[in-house]
Structure 1
């Protein structure tokens, strides 16, 4: 079992020099230190999202014109890839992946629509099992993010530029909160300890954070963006162990 000690953020955006990585200030998910040597680690990549599989390997999904590109690391220093998850549509951006017990659900946006596919895994063999893309929303929309909390799946998306939280009820979703704030649903994650949740919204001014301890009612409050990495627009967050945190801290 992986005991979380800190948080790692992968991000990209205007002026960031491609994909970069930042480490949380201890357990503080609102303050990040950019790793000095992270520029150019994943050449030509953008729109990163981090996910750790059940075997402990860490994957970084990035956008690709012909599909989703997947990079993999065992030590957070050396990355292999990219391998391509072909999804049958062009113009892919903002890919994300979520373990679902039987592989991973991969979601992304293309042509103004949000889609989802299922794979048996994020290794080479697993990527070859990808299902056909299925629309996630019944209309055009921006970035979509998912969150599992307290046994419930929540979906976040943008409606006319404002953020919306919905709760899965069977095969449909029920709106929980409309108007959380402005921007796209770049990433949503649980803080260390599992009692606080964070939403980092992508805006023209960078990542804008929101915080809640009432995830079930969508009681989000804006937080100061001063601790966010400069220029970041999109990203993904995973927890890291104490050993991983200390090795990464040497590059902060």
Structure 2
């Protein structure tokens, strides 16, 4: 072979070896090359912390708060607070539900009251696209349980054997003379009506159980079709080949130093790019939120391992008991467009500069020293009715917007109609009293502007210097 061909062949072989080593040594998916994950959770106590929050991760380990860390959905029913949300997708992917505990600790109810005389309802939201959600509704699940005193930590999983969902939750009730939390279940197809609740998990003696989540695993993974993790004094793992069949105790996570006195709220996640799972556990005893425990075999307690230092990041808010959904590309696009990390703004009055636009009992006015501060915080979203316009979405009542009914301004929930969109949309123009500030012209009645009168917000035609000052605002942080 001529020398030049020899050198060429040697070069080609080296290049192939280099390419082969690159392919073998490089992960098959970059961090954001495929759709990521959506976590539904609450963040703490109080009326604001006990609501629905969303977070996103590209790799399942590093999380960013959606909606600027603000509330995504707010309960206006029952106790007006929610904990332990579970996000459920239908098998066909055309419908979603969020089911949550109807509980608001520190909002007029203590832990003792919640255990012995709490809400027997769950709170349910429904959606067809993962971003436009129904108003919350109550679903009575524990009212038919003898001596049932509450309904906590709901979960649901599709059961292919019965073609419906197994909805399960914890209820504190007396059975065989023992009062404690047990897991009950019912079947449903729509989260509106359920079958008669039945006992699902009961630990021996006085040992209660509150948190449990069932994971469907691929056939041949550890010998079980389903694995569940439960908080029952330990983090107990069990396996079964039928959701409503017999479950086998597999062990617990005490071998890696995690017990039910330290962690709760088990939350499963399957990494989409490899045969590995994360079992997220809420470090409630130390107040540190979620910790991912990793495994390649969910049914093998000995195979779980703690994450390496610095290998995960949970974002700005504390993540509490929730659930994780592996997103499709379309779902991810919709979610990130609907709940971006948008800035939080206030509207400062031009002629009373210690006062800001705020809502109170769904009325809107300008006040000083607003408390809670979130009542005066809004997100300036792209106008609901037209391009180049804005709409004002409440931070602590997401989905609720400033809108006019006649000349009166109020805070109202978006009902999806064109009429609502038009009445909640404004054109931002140069301030009528000072061009460095802003004024807001009604979209559906351009002759009128947003202004305050006797400190209440309304729409008016502006014809005087006082009116121009009343209709001028600064958009500020």
**Structure with more relative contact order (C-alpha pairs < 8 Å, separation 6 or more):** 1
Deviations 1:61-102 (A, max 9, x none): 111212222211122222114233322233222111111122
Q: CA deviation at 1:107?
A: 1.5
CA 1:45–1:174: 2 relative to 1, 3 Å: closer
Q: Is 1:157 paired with 2:230? A: yes
Residue 23 of structure 1 is matched in structure 2 by 56
Q: Is 1:8 paired with 2:38? A: yes
Aligned pair count reads 243
Structure with bigger helix share is 2
Unpaired runs of 5+ residues, structure 1, are none
Query: Contact 1:163/1:185 (CA < 8 Å) preserved in 2?
Result: no
Deviations 1:146-198 (A, max 9, x none): 111123211211242x3121212752323244425241143113221461111
Q: Is 1:144 paired with 2:212? A: yes
1:201-220 to 2 correspondences below 5 Å: 201-204=281-284, 205-218=288-301, 219-220=303-304
Query: Contact 1:146/1:156 (CA < 8 Å) preserved in 2?
Result: yes
CA distance in 1 between counterparts of 2:67 and 2:214 reads 30
Q: CA deviation at 1:34?
A: 0.8
CA distance in 1 between counterparts of 2:181 and 2:194 reads 22
Structure with bigger strand share is 1
Query: Contact 1:19/1:41 (CA < 8 Å) preserved in 2?
Result: yes
TM score, norm. by length of structure 1: 0.85
Residue 64 of structure 2 is matched in structure 1 by 33
Query: Contact 1:95/1:106 (CA < 8 Å) preserved in 2?
Result: yes
Residue 134 of structure 2 is matched in structure 1 by 80
- 211-220 or 233-242: which moved more? 211-220
Unpaired runs of 5+ residues, structure 2, are 1-33, 76-80, 103-118, 143-147, 173-179, 220-224, 342-477
The counterpart of 1:239, out of the listed 319, 322, 326, is: 326
CA distance in 2 between counterparts of 1:150 and 1:192 reads 13
Query: Contact 2:230/2:266 (CA < 8 Å) preserved in 1?
Result: no
Query: Contact 1:59/1:72 (CA < 8 Å) preserved in 2?
Result: yes
Structure having the higher Rg: 2
Residue 249 of structure 1 is matched in structure 2 by 336
The counterpart of 1:166, out of the listed 218, 224, 238, is: 238
Residue 110 of structure 2 is matched in structure 1 by none
Residue 184 of structure 1 is matched in structure 2 by 264
